[in-house]
Chains A and B, each alone.
Chain A
Amino acid sequence: MAIVSRGFRGRPRAGGDRLPPGQYLVEDFPVLSAGPTPRVPADRWEFAIDTEAGETRRWSWEEFMALPQERPAVDIHCVTKWSKLDTHWEGVSLDVLFEDVESAAEYALVHSYGGYTTNLPVEDLLDGKAWIVHRYDGEELAPVHGGPARLLVPHLYFWKSAKWVRGIRLLNEDWPGFWESAGYHEYGDPWREQRYEGD
């Protein structure tokens, strides 16, 4: 005999098994901001990867746009508890950007125009798990959502998907980013509810 009958499961939550614990669904796209919105014209934009050996690989906007483009459709989860399903983006896989980068570093510190930073393991940027995106829902990415380009790492809480991304510094030691040094979790897995330091 089943100890817990199916009747005790209640109504399934909207979003079903795609909604991590503690999250609720939104249809709009909330904007959270830790500072003024940078306005970076494409002709002044560049993206760079700095290695632990001090080498730098740079892309201008034109060079970046000439790279193979992908169209990830993903669910995103904000640490402030909203989740949005089936978001559509266009951009370049980090696997493509790392192709010519020689590095054995385990840690990445992502930095943005405007000074924002966030840290994550390099392995979370590779193998089809992360992109630099410049279009959302068929349109150019708006500055309030991180345009001209933002990082997209949908398997981690969305503060890791740095808006206005400018570059990635590869490091041998983990270095906490903007929110990670002010109480938020260093990794931020929504499925393990890693919201705050120590979760």
Chain B
Amino acid sequence: MKTFTYAKANDAETAVRDAHVSGAKFIAGGTNLLDLMKLQVETPEKLVDISRLPLGEIEEREDGGLTIGALVPNSDLAADPRVIAKYEVLSRALLAGASGQLRNKATTGGNLLQRTRCYYFYDTATACNKREPGAGCSAVGGFNRVLAVLGTSDHCIATHPGDMPVAMRALDATIITLKADGDKRRISIHDFYRLPGDTPNIETVLEPGELITHAELPAPPKGRQTYRKVRDRASYAFALVSVAGVVSVEDGRIASAALAFGGLGPMPWRNAAVEAALVGKAPSDAVFNAAADILLADARGYGSNDFKIPLTRRVLIATLRDLTGE
């Protein structure tokens, strides 16, 4: 860990001002940032401690949605009765992630920004374009079991490792930020993440010093919700593939569908065409297979992660059966 200067912020405005210098990072739970700083994958020169900002509340809005403070710990969000009652997919996703200890510390804002678990990103002895643009990608041609099959580029095949953001993407969350100049910004989660392209080091649309203050969930969606996570261990492991699904059926036909995927791409993955292929159709394996065809049309394996493609198809079909079945 490189040394850094430390500033503790008592309000968000001060925090963004403090962080508006090159090399500054916010720290709240720190569960991912400190992990990476110890390895010098992250080397911030300044840490702005936002852990005491008043962003720890979950509030119900008049439109029926929820506004979640960026500092709400994963545990609290998962256990919130309103989340359990109306956004079960989010609770389930959170509970499928990490461990009890980590969920007690990890925050909503920080979890949106969790960085990849690519083995090579984590090791400064190897080439990684995400860590050091232009250095090359060791994962291509290396061991890539946990890495991406969708949205990759020649420069990076990292996966977004999170669970919560996958559910939030299925729920059409909006991320609210505060910029250094004091402006607030609302960013749809669908616009929040960036594909790696030739700049895999840039993962979101956040500007330097821009602080996530809240995540907003729209009014609860219709239909059934589920989060299915496939992993090597029964617990305490990152997703090989995960699906967050919210599907409603009316009169024997799929009325709405929101499907987001973890473990497949550099961001929580969602493809509107997959859902369009479902809506209006009577649930059937043929329809589900057609949706899977669309999802996986551009999928590309890199050797040790090839299995994710057939696995995803199976998980998607089984999930859709669960969500549309009697």
Q: Do A and B come from one complex?
A: no
Interface residues of B (CB under 8 A from A): none
Interface residues of A (CB under 8 A from B): none
